[in-house]
Structures are given as structure tokens and as C-alpha cells.
């Protein structure tokens, strides 16, 4: 997402940032699909006998919890990327405004 310019300063590549965001959003969709599948597995285990169904439900619940945490972390990452891009867009605009004002 970031690279250094000819002066060694780190700059933000908005196109790369957008690509990263799209990949993260695709990951969230896959994690949500996995949660749906695990929910379905939990429902199907109602017909199991003995402890097998219970263990499967417990394992599925644990995986669902982990997936939800991963989704939350991924959403936070998206927010941080968007905030960083917005910050640098604002700084770029402020710099352009300053340069334009000094030229007048």
C-alpha cells in the first residue's frame, strides 16, 4: 500500500489501498459463508446420538467465535486503511491549496 518516493518519503498508493480493501472484503464474505456452513452443521448434529453431536456443536461454536473475531479485526483493518488514505488525501489537498495561495 505504501512506497517511497525519490526523496525517500513514504507515499500512499490509493489504487493499491483500494485493491487491498477489496481483498479484505472478499475475505469477510468467505468468513461469513463459513459461519453459515458451521451454523448448518450445528443444526444437523441434532440427530446425532451420544457425545459426537455435542463435540461437533462445541467445535463449530468455537470456530464461529474465532471467525467473528477475525471478521471484526478485518473490518478494523479496512477502516484503518480508509482513514490513512483519507488523511493523505486531505494533506495532499491542503498542500495544493497552500501552493496555490503562495502563487497568487
Residue 25 located in a structural domain: yes
- What pLDDT, in 10s, does the model give residues 46-60? 888 889 999 999 999
Q: What percent of the chain has pLDDT over 70?
A: 91
pLDDT tens for 76-96 read 999 999 998 998 888 888 888
Q: What is the number of structural domains in the chain?
A: 1
Q: Looking at the domain assignment, is residue 79 inside a domain?
A: yes
Predicted pLDDT of residue 37? 98
Supply the range of the domain harboring residue 29: 14-103
Query: Per the domain annotation, does 3 fall within a domain?
Result: no
Distance between CA atoms of residues 83 and 65, nearest Å: 27
Burial class (CB within 10 angstroms; exposed 0-12, middle 13-18, buried 19+) of 62: exposed
Q: Which residues contact 20 (CB under 8 A, 6 or more apart)?
A: 1, 81
Q: Exposed, middle or buried, 65 (CB in 10 Å: 0-12/13-18/19+)?
A: exposed
Burial classification of residue 60, based on how many CB atoms lie within 10 Å of its CB (0-12 exposed, 13-18 middle, 19 or more buried): buried
Please say if the pLDDT value at position 4 is more than 70.
no
Amino acid at each position: 500500500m505504501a512506497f517511497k518516493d525519490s526523496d525517500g518519503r513514504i507515499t500512499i498508493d490509493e489504487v493499491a489501498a483500494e485493491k487491498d480493501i477489496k481483498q479484505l472484503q472478499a475475505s469477510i464474505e468467505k468468513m461469513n459463508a463459513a459461519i453459515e456452513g458451521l451454523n448448518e452443521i450445528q443444526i444437523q448434529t441434532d440427530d446425532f446420538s451420544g457425545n459426537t453431536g455435542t463435540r461437533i456443536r462445541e467445535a463449530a461454536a468455537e470456530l464461529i467465535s474465532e471467525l467473528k473475531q477475525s471478521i471484526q479485526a478485518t473490518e478494523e483493518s479496512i477502516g484503518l486503511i480508509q482513514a490513512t488514505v483519507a488523511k493523505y488525501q486531505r494533506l495532499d489537498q491542503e498542500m495544493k491549496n497552500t501552493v496555490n495561495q503562495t502563487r497568487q
